[in-house]
Amino acid sequence: MGQMSLAQQAECQRFAKKSLQDRFLEEMDAVMPWAELLELVEPHYPKDEQGRKPVGLGIMPRLYFAPHRFALSDPAAEDALYDSAALRRFGGIDLGRAPAPDETTILNFRHLLEAHDICGRMLDTVNLFLGRRGKRIATGTIVDATILQAPSSTKNEKKERDPEMHRTRKGNQWH
């Protein structure tokens, strides 16, 4: 890493504490196969031949994964890059040298990945890489298990047992 710009030096504080976001992004940075992901994207990434100069290739895959983790839309991801020093460090963005990628740039990168069917290959690459290290990414469902007060009968209007209705006990009370 090169010399810090003045924009980054404001973040150097003697008694700073790492936030949960900082710790998560550091761990993500350590476990992701960035070199393999860049190899997938590089053949399709625009060269700076005409028009606006493209954002560095090393930044964009990071800006593809981080907003997923924090459930950020493209405009929210752009705002978060200006608000969060942790996200800027993770993405390798130095506001003293260049602006953060805007929402259109982030959107266009995602469309580039979709157009070349790279998203699934990136996910497979990450899953294989993490699998070799004994880690895995899983999804789950949160279920609300609130106990509701209901009539004590488990029969419905037809005087038949309702298959969806069950009783449970909490302490000495049946619900």
- Name the residue range of residue 55's domain: 9-132
Q: What are the pLDDT digits (tens) for 112-153?
A: 999 999 988 988 888 888 888 887 766 666 666 676 666 666
> Is 160 domain-assigned?
no
> Is 138 domain-assigned?
no
> Is 145 domain-assigned?
no
Q: What are the pLDDT digits (tens) for 82-121?
A: 998 889 999 999 888 888 899 998 999 999 999 999 988 9
Q: Cβ(122)–Cβ(37) under 8 Å?
A: yes
The count of structural domains within the chain is 1
> Is 169 domain-assigned?
no
Helix (H) or strand (E) holding 68: helix 60-69
92: left (phi over 0), alpha (psi -120 to 50) or beta: left
